[in-house]
């Protein structure tokens, strides 16, 4: 019997990536039929929690402590070392598909998301890790500028932390400018993160004691992403770019995107469980909420209106968008924990 992912790959244009994988999970994902692998600034925290990778991760941290006094750089360099293992696993797929599949994504220091010069310097170092590396840049003005510059240099980019359609449109527009400057069209992926937006919406409603049906609140992120898909299909599908969902928490965060010519990144355990369940493949990308429901979400959750509408924000508001701030806070928290580990290891390694 064919697995759910095999059926998805054979009958729909929707593609799945594996997120923050252990090397063994990357191997399993590759065999299962994933398109590539993603990671984010929490990556080393996962590697430090698993027996498969904890020793290698500590060794990488210790090695770079001896090379630099910059604790942030130690974290980034150790991250590079660990993600290189994943890139090596996907290189054969990357080469066999002539650079279409087998990409492996890495994301830099979240404390420097507003520093375009730093983003570019870090990105150039990341690209040297492996030919199939795609660098993630964040949903800030600096991230948009960096993506345009990297595109103009011919690099593949993954625009991440996408919790507004205004941001996605700005990325696509900047990509077009970068393509014109490059004279060619390197790959671009732009995230539209239904699950993290839903997480924000639930916390916002709870914190402010807003009367809104839970099942409607759950639809906010998916509705934002489906609207962005319609915008992409109408205005940007002729470009060498795709939308990518991520931050998947439950089955609907993937299954509601099925049928769309887009990608979604998921943890290996989620992928494995979905294959075990093996539900029917149903195209749901065009199933949307009613206008009445949408208006109620606009009224109850102001950030949803700003995220949904193409012109819902101003450029200067990107970094201040509450769902983005909440999403990035998770990365900052993980990065802080890694800095603490680096400081501890530095003390222990003192002679």
Q: How many CB atoms neighbour CB 185 within 10 A?
A: 16
Q: What is the pLDDT of residue 351?
A: 81
Query: What does the alpha-carbon distance between residue 84 and residue 259 come to, in Å, rounded to a whole number?
Result: 32
Yes or no: say if 94 and 48 are a contact pair by the CB < 8 Å rule.
no
Q: What is the pLDDT of residue 315?
A: 86
Element (H, E) at 13: none
Q: What angle do CA 323, 246, 252 make, to 5 degrees?
A: 100
- Nearest to residue 225, comparing CAs of 134, 162, 161, 181? 162
- Nearest to residue 256, comparing CAs of 14, 35, 38, 37? 14
Question: 103 CB contacts (<8 Å, ≥6 apart)?
Answer: 35, 36, 37, 90, 94, 132, 133, 134, 156, 158, 187
Query: What does the alpha-carbon distance between residue 226 and residue 110 come to, in Å, rounded to a whole number?
Result: 27
Q: What is the pLDDT of residue 244?
A: 98
Give strand ranges (E) for the chain: 15-19, 37-38, 104-107, 133-137, 157-159, 188-191, 241-245, 263-267
- Regions of the chain where pLDDT drops below 50: none
How do residues 163-211 score in pLDDT, each as one tens digit?
999 999 999 999 999 999 999 999 999 999 999 999 999 999 999 999 9
Q: What is the pLDDT of residue 287?
A: 97
């Amino acid at each position: 019997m064919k697995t759910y992912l095999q059926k998805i790959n054979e009958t729909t244009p929707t593609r799945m990536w594996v997120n923050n994988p252990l090397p063994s999970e990357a191997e399993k994902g590759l065999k299962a039929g994933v398109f590539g692998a993603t990671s984010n600034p929490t990556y080393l925290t996962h590697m430090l929690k698993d027996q498969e990778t904890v020793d290698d991760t500590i060794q990488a941290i210790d090695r770079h402590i001896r090379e630099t006094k910059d604790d942030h750089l130690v974290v980034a360099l150790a991250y590079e070392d660990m993600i290189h293992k994943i890139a090596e696993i996907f290189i054969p797929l990357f080469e066999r598909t002539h650079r279409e599949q087998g990409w492996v994504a890495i994301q830099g220091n979240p404390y420097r998301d507003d520093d375009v010069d730093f983003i570019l310097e870090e990105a150039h170092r990341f690209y040297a890790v492996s030919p199939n590396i795609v660098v993630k840049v964040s949903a800030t003005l600096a991230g948009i500028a960096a993506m345009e510059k990297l595109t103009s240099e011919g690099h593949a980019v993954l625009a991440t932390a996408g919790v507004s359609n205004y941001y996605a449109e700005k990325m696509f527009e900047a990509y077009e400018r970068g393509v014109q400057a490059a004279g060619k069209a390197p790959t671009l992926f732009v995230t539209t993160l239904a699950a993290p937006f839903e997480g924000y919406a639930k916390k916002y409603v709870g914190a402010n004691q807003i009367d809104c049906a839970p099942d409607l609140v759950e639809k906010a992120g998916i509705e934002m992403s489906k609207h962005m898909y319609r915008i992409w299909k109408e205005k940007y599908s002729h470009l060498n770019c795709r939308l990518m969902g991520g931050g998947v928490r439950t089955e609907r965060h993937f299954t509601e995107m099925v049928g769309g010519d887009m990608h979604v990144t998921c943890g290996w355990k989620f992928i494995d469980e979905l294959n075990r369940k093996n539900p029917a493949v149903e195209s749901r990308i065009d199933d949307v909420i009613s206008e009445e429901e949408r208006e109620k979400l606009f009224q109850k959750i102001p950030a949803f209106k700003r995220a949904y509408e193409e012109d819902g924000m101003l450029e200067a508001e990107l970094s201040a968008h509450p769902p983005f701030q909440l999403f990035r806070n998770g990365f900052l928290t993980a990065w802080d924990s890694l800095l603490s580990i680096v400081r501890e290891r530095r003390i222990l390694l003192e002679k």
